[in-house]
Amino acid sequence: MLMKYYATRLERLVNNMANFAQKLINLGLRKARVRAKISGTSDRPRLSVTISNKHISAQIIDDVKKVTLVSSTTVGTKQTGTMSEKAAFIGADIAKKAKKAKINAVVFDRNGRQYAKRLNAFAEAARGEGLEF
């Protein structure tokens, strides 16, 4: 009886891991599909956004020179609030840094993520500071 219980639990765990692995594969496919269509140049560099469970990072990248021009992240800062508030903070911060670096227009790379709440807050804050994409 006890062995049957553990076998059932183990089977569920394996199925959950298989589902997680499939989600990671699908994310990789979405990323590759987006990156195949967009590329940053010196005129319009690529704005890449990475959102984890706790932090948000953004980079403005020139893919021709393979150089990161500007970056901003919540890692190592005392930024508090919801993830949407953190995203808005980083969006405004990256736009200000881009203005200092004389970058007005970028190509938006959402990194395979759905354009929804957090990503929308980031984009609206960046647009509010004058960044064009």
Domain count of the fold of the chain: 2
Alpha-carbon gap, residue 12 to 4, rounded angstroms? 12
Predicted TM-score (pTM) of the model is 0.81
CA pseudo-torsion sign 56, 116, 101, 70: positive
Give the range of the structural domain holding residue 122, as residue numbers without chain letter: 39-128
The strand ranges marked E within the chain are 46-51, 56-62, 67-73, 107-109
- State the maximum Cα–Cα separation within the chain, in Å, rounded to a whole number: 69
Same domain, 46 and 11: no
Q: Which tens digits make up the pLDDT trace of 39-89?
A: 888 899 999 999 999 999 999 999 999 999 999 999 988 888 999 999 999
Same domain, 57 and 16: no
Q: Which tens digits make up the pLDDT trace of 6-22?
A: 667 767 777 777 888 88
Same domain, 73 and 31: no
Same domain, 83 and 119: yes
Whether the per-residue pLDDT at 2 is higher than 70: the answer is no
Q: Is residue 84 part of a domain?
A: yes
The residue ranking higher by pLDDT, 112 or 12, is: 112
Same domain, 4 and 20: yes
**Beta carbons within 10 angstroms of residue 88's beta carbon:** 22
Span between the terminal Cα atoms of the chain, in Å: 61
